[in-house]
Amino acid sequence: ETGVTQSPTHLIKTRGQQVTLRCSSQSGHNTVSWYQQALGQGPQFIFQYYREEENGRGNFPPRFSGLQFPNYSSELNVNALELDDSALYLCASSRLAEEGNEQFFGPGTRLTVL
Amino acid sequence: KQEVTQIPAALSVPEGENLVLNCSFTDSAIYNLQWFRQDPGKGLTSLLLIQSSQREQTSGRLNASLDKSSGRSTLYIAASQPGDSATYLCAVYNNDMRFGAGTRLTVKP
């Protein structure tokens, strides 16, 4: 069974640029959630995708957008990067409404905005 | 709005000690509660999941309890080891997952 994978591991961008982060779900999972974790804080929910549709969104502006593909992999896109977007971005996959909706996390992508 | 608080923020114990980490949440309408471990700069590793209808879960030296009515959960770690040193996060799930800020645990040899 393959776990959740994310790419790239690290990324450095400048303010105003756009970035795409990628996530591959654990085998058999149909839901992907994205989180932003600033240093020293708990992860903050960005949004969740279920069967290619957005299924909930946290308090993040529209310049944070996402996609889920038929194979349940996912992308997180951030436009017009700001310095405060520097964080660890985590994705998690689960089987919604099954197995207690236990979330399994990937290793994260460290984004630095200069 | 659901708020999750973890106490203490940091904890340092000698090897072999039993310890308890605390998590509290403001809205008892949760679907489940999950405890995670996070090593520095890494992703989250799921430790235990407690569904809303359950009172506790056990895995090896770990035991987690849930009291929905009081909005509390505890993670009990028996016979702590230096390899247990990490940040421990609790999270509650309803329509989305809300995390506490974590407890940073150091177990000294």
Backbone angles phi, psi at A9, to 5 degrees: -75, -45
Q: What is the pLDDT of residue B98?
A: 94
d(CA B26, CA B79): 31
Q: What percent of chain A has pLDDT over 90?
A: 76
CB-based contact A42:B102 (threshold 8 Å): yes
Cα distances from B30 to residues A5, B39, B46, in angstroms, run: 28, 26, 18
Handedness of CA B30, B34, B40, B41 (dihedral sign): negative
Q: What is the pLDDT of residue B95?
A: 79
Q: What is the pLDDT of residue A99?
A: 59
Give tens-digit pLDDT for A87-98.
Answer: 999 999 998 766
d(CA A57, CA A105): 18
Chain B: residue whose CA lies nearest to A43: B99
CB-based contact B89:A42 (threshold 8 Å): yes
Nearest C-alpha of chain B: how many angstroms from A106? 6
Q: Which residues of A touch B100 (CB under 8 A)?
A: 42
Scanning the structure block, which residue is given the tokens 């979330």? A103
The DSSP line for B85-104 is -EEEEEEEESSSEEE---EE
Q: Which residues of B touch A33 (CB under 8 A)?
A: 96-97
Summary mean pLDDT of chain A: 92
What average pLDDT does range A70-93 have in this prediction? 95
d(CA A27, CA A2): 6
Q: What is the pLDDT of residue B35?
A: 97
pLDDT at A100 over 70: no
Q: Touching check for A31 and chain B: CB below 8 Å?
A: no
Handedness of CA A35, B103, B84, A38 (dihedral sign): positive
pLDDT at B54 over 60: yes
Cross-chain residue pair B49–A100, CB shorter than 8 Å: yes
Residue type (1 letter), B12: S
pLDDT at B22 over 90: yes
Give tens-digit pLDDT for A7-24.
Answer: 999 999 999 999 999 999
Q: Which two tokens stand for residue B1?
A: 């709005």
Among A77, A45, A53, A82, residue whose Cα is nearest residue A64: A77
Cross-chain residue pair A107–B89, CB shorter than 8 Å: no
Nearest C-alpha of chain B: how many angstroms from A17? 24
Which residues fall within 8 angstroms of residue A109, CB to CB, at 6 or more apart? A6, A7, A8, A9, A10, A11, A21, A88, A89
pLDDT at B17 over 80: yes
Cross-chain residue pair B31–A101, CB shorter than 8 Å: yes
Q: What percent of chain A has pLDDT over 70?
A: 95
Sort strands B97-99 and B44-51 into parallel, antiparallel or unpaired: unpaired
Cross-chain residue pair B34–A105, CB shorter than 8 Å: no
Q: Which two tokens stand for residue B105?
A: 């645990």
pLDDT at B58 over 90: yes
Q: Which residues of A touch B34 (CB under 8 A)?
A: 102-103
